[in-house]
Amino acid sequence: MNRTRIIFISIIVVALLIIGATVVLTNRGGNPGGSALTVENPDTVTIRILTSLPVEPWVRSAAESFNAEDRTVDGVPIQVQVEAVDGLTALGRWDRNEYGALEADQTPETLTDAERAALDKFPVAWIPDSRYLVELANAAYKERLGRDVFLTDGEYRARPIAISLFTWGLYNTRADVLEKKYGEINWDAIHDAATAAGGWPELGGEPAWGFFKLVVPNPSRNVGGLAAMIAAAGEYYNRTNISVEDVVNPEFQAWLKELMGAVTDFSSSSAYSAEDFALFGYSVGDGGQLLESDLLQNMQGILTRWEDPLALYYPEYLTWFDFPFSVWVGPETSALQKNAALEFQRYLLSDEQQTAALAYGLRPANPNIPVDASEDSLFTKWADRGVLPVVPRTTAMRSPDRDTLLALLRWFDLNVKQ
């Protein structure tokens, strides 16, 4: 054996000895079980989900069932925490970055322990009332961070989990009078009723009813109030899209102010207009445009307390909420948390949970489930009150942009808010 071969073999032997010694020291040192060579999963992955008010009871019930079933992702148990928050309130918090999203030049690795711990409470997903709220929040963050935080395509895209339309709900006695007077329940008829100087007697109703009182959610507390004003604008202009120019049109503003002036008291109304309608009856109003699911959930309470059932009518210019389940895709949440959120999203879209949604007056987003799929369906229970399983009209209002929404809110604050 020549000298070169001996040196080569010696180098290999020494290298093997070094590798062997390193393995032994690693397994015998301060890292028992060789934990330094592996990444351990947490014992539990907890996901916080912001949820709009109309679907919160159903989502919370589903979360309780989901948690009880010991669901896992990558072998790790999932726990879902549901936080109820109105869509406009959540949008404002996103805009002000109250949830603590990282700056563009930050990553979790650059944070202090305290800053990293604060991310444990960061929302993993958001279920707002409508898709346009997600788009507005994403646009603001994209301008600030240079990237999307909510997606419109791919695995983590925002997906509707239920649907609820805005419908007219009027006490039956009042609806009969308005139909005889105007032939159809729409915003023009409601405006004329609201501005009738002689009150209900002028319309053909009872003197004891006083003046027509409109029920509309407070736009400052419930995004449904904005949806109602958008629908009213659509009918006023006879088209499906409105702009800032339309909102500031003096003639439209005068018409809308007369209409909104028929609301009894915005200052005392809560975020739950249909619930107030059921609790306080005619003192709140004679009827208005509210979310279908809210009306259906409160139908029994209205009938029990006031013995005057609601009649439902579907407007020509439809607005609705589609409650998109939107996963935050930024670095603030881990891949495990994002995938856990997808597991819960799939759970909500399952046949079982979509059928359960019928008992809350929500239309399933899963096309396999008709609105009469359950004995507990509110669509079946209140079919004689005008509830339509399939709405034949297809005139749908387009989602307004941020400037138009802000213009409507500003107009409301300056002209109507009390």
Of 15-19, 53-57, 367-371, the one with minimum mean pLDDT is 15-19
How do beta strands 45-51 and 76-84 pair? parallel
Q: Are 373 and 355 in contact (CB under 8 A)?
A: yes
- SS3 call for 170: strand
For residue range 122-145, what is the model confidence (pLDDT) as tens digits? 999 999 999 989 999 999 999 999
Average pLDDT over residues 80-87: 95
Q: How far is CA 171 from CA 272, 300, 319, in A?
A: 18, 13, 21
**Structural domains of the chain sorted by starting position, each given as residue range(s) with its CATH number in brackets:** 45-161+323-349 (3.40.190.10), 164-321+378-415 (3.40.190.10)
Distance CA 341, CA 349 (A): 12
pLDDT of residue 23: 39
- SS3 call for 288: strand
Q: Are 125 and 47 in contact (CB under 8 A)?
A: yes
pLDDT of residue 36: 27
- SS3 call for 361: coil
Give the 3-state secondary structure percentages of the chain, helix then strand then coil, rounded to 5: 50, 15, 35
pLDDT of residue 343: 97
Distance CA 153, CA 231 (A): 28
Q: Are 224 and 290 in contact (CB under 8 A)?
A: yes
Average pLDDT, the chain: 87
Task: Name the residue with higher pLDDT: 219 or 66.
Answer: 66
- SS3 call for 328: coil
Q: Are 390 and 163 in contact (CB under 8 A)?
A: no
Residue count (the chain): 418
- What is the enclosing helix (H) or strand (E) of 160? strand 159-160
For residue range 10-31, what is the model confidence (pLDDT) as tens digits? 545 444 444 444 433 333 333 3
pLDDT of residue 217: 85
Q: Are 100 and 118 in contact (CB under 8 A)?
A: yes
- What is the enclosing helix (H) or strand (E) of 287? strand 287-291
Most distant CA pair in the chain, distance: 120
For residue range 393-412, what is the model confidence (pLDDT) as tens digits? 667 888 888 899 889 999 99
pLDDT at 71 over 60: yes
Phi, psi of 312 (to 5 degrees): -105, 140
Task: Name the residue with higher pLDDT: 283 or 77.
Answer: 77
pLDDT of residue 118: 83
Q: Are 158 and 303 in contact (CB under 8 A)?
A: no
pLDDT of residue 32: 33
For residue range 320-365, what is the model confidence (pLDDT) as tens digits? 999 999 999 999 999 999 999 999 999 999 999 999 999 999 999 9
pLDDT at 110 over 90: no
pLDDT at 386 over 80: yes
pLDDT of residue 25: 38
pLDDT of residue 22: 42
Distance CA 122, CA 328 (A): 9
Distance CA 298, CA 275 (A): 6
Distance CA 375, CA 261 (A): 41
Write the burial class of residue 238 (CB in 10 Å: 0-12 exposed, 13-18 middle, 19+ buried). exposed
Task: Name the residue with higher pLDDT: 36 or 289.
Answer: 289
pLDDT at 91 over 80: yes
pLDDT of residue 212: 95
Average pLDDT over residues 198-210: 96
Q: Give the range with max mean pLDDT: 2-16, 61-75, 108-122, 281-295.
A: 61-75
Q: How far is CA 106 from CA 116, 129, 140, 373, in A?
A: 11, 30, 18, 49
With tokens 């107009």, the residue in question is 411
Distance CA 392, CA 399 (A): 20
Average pLDDT over residues 182-206: 95
Read off the pLDDT band of 303 (50, 70, 90): confident
pLDDT at 204 over 60: yes
pLDDT at 268 over 70: no
